Amino acid sequence: MIDSNGNLCRACGRAELEFLLDLGPQPLAGGFLSPDLGPKFHEQTYPLPIHICRTCGLVQSTFVIPADHLFVNYFFSSSTVDYLVQHFLNYATWIKEKLDPQFVVEFGCNDGILLAPLERLGIRTCGVDISHNITDIARKKGLNVITGYFNVDVAQQIRREHGAVDVVTGSNAFPHNDHPEEILLAAQEALKDNGHICLEVMYAGSLLEQLQWDSMYHEHLSYFCLSTLEVLLNRFGFHTVHAEIVPMHAGSLRIVAAKDSNEKPDPTVEMLLSKEEAMGLTKLETWKFFAKTTQRQIHVVKEILGDLGKDKRIWGYGAAGRATMWVNACKLNYLEAIVDASPLRAGRLMPGTHTPIVFPDALRMNPPDYILVTAWNYFDTIRSKESWFEGIWIVPAPHLHFI
């Protein structure tokens, strides 16, 4: 089941990886369990080693679980998250205004959260995603979706059936891929000569600034900044012409890269590259410090909450991948329940600790003393939604605090 990338850097292709830390053993972060499996069910856990490339500075996970194991049945339907619906609505408008495309292809399209607003703007779309259950949802919305990988074959099929593409886009799916070069080769095949690729990826700068080790789970393989992404794009005939940081997932990098080598970058590219240089974002010592601070934070939360959990009732809030990381890294098996509004997760059990996941109304019926906000990046939204709660909120990151 386990694959390996042969310890070559995913950005520059060199064998210069240096070990930073191991966040394992961890179960699959999105492997929410059915309660029918029974209390004795023991799911598999895996190591989670994080490395950095000494040549280009790309921080990357080196333990690869094949994508068809992770994503074929996927419990993350983007359109169930209001915040993401709004994000992709804005992104669709942004693409229209910036690039004015007629035909857009999105890889890793999930349930069509971007395709639907693009279509409403009069843009033809085609989505590609390997998750059968999620592409079924997209198809039921009347969207044009291919179930499979976005590779050269699929790119040729799209070009044959629908014509050449103006924009290829992917949000988050790009760093999920062990072989991002296959996506770039496919984009080269699908795009017109003056076409663009747009990417939104979790930003290594935000990861560093906010100590987001909890987003380093098995699905996420590469933690790009503009400097490292540019190394990869250049190898496959693209160069970045625009870059900005957007709020999604506590800080993501959005770039536009051109296929036409004569297209000039706007000033945002040089500005962000200079900022990254000043931050030391591709430096070994920067990430060694990150690794040390992460280990300290895990220890502190484990000790403080462990004491609290002996005589207080604690629930969690937000059963996304980050929550799996917190409950397993900090051994939070005493949490009574974790609240989540997604019907794909509520009613199931957390990976590893088997904590029951419940809908928000269960919280109102039986409020605990403390709520640990495992979805800490959505804390403001959660707190305003549950403003009736009179107990204490625990926000574990970027720094542990009680409210």
Residues that bind Zn ion (CB under 5 A): 9, 11-12, 53, 55-56, 58
How would DSSP label each residue in 146-201?
Answer: EES--SHHHHHHHHHHH--EEEEEEESTGGG-S-HHHHHHHHHHHEEEEEEEEEEE
Residue 242 structure tokens: 């625009």
Cβ proximity to Zn ion: between 144 and 240 the closer is: 240
Give, in degrees to the nearest 5, the angle at Cα 198 between 97 and 273. 105
* Backbone dihedral angles phi then psi of residue 46, each to the nearest 5 degrees: -135, 155
How would DSSP label each residue in 46-103?
Answer: B--EEEEETTT--EEE--B--HHHHHSS-S--GGG-HHHHHHHHHHHHHHHHHH--SE
**Residue 283: CB minimum distance to Zn ion, A:** 13
Distance CA 172, CA 293 (A): 26
**Residue 55: CB minimum distance to Zn ion, A:** 5
Identify the CA nearest to 56 among candidates 16, 5, 4, 21.
16
Cβ proximity to Zn ion: between 21 and 58 the closer is: 58
Cβ proximity to Zn ion: between 51 and 354 the closer is: 51
Cβ proximity to Zn ion: between 235 and 399 the closer is: 235
Decide if 147 contacts 139 (C-beta within 8 A): no
**Residue 41: CB minimum distance to Zn ion, A:** 40
Dihedral sign for Cα 51, 52, 53, 54, please: negative
Question: Would strands 191-202 and 252-258 be described as parallel, antiparallel, or unpaired?
Answer: antiparallel
Cβ proximity to Zn ion: between 52 and 154 the closer is: 52
Cβ proximity to Zn ion: between 56 and 67 the closer is: 56
**Residue 26: CB minimum distance to Zn ion, A:** 24
**Residue 240: CB minimum distance to Zn ion, A:** 17
**Residue 243: CB minimum distance to Zn ion, A:** 19
Cβ proximity to Zn ion: between 178 and 189 the closer is: 178
Residue 271 structure tokens: 């500005």
**Residue 9: CB minimum distance to Zn ion, A:** 3
Q: Within the chain, how many helices (H) and strands (E) appear? A: 13, 17
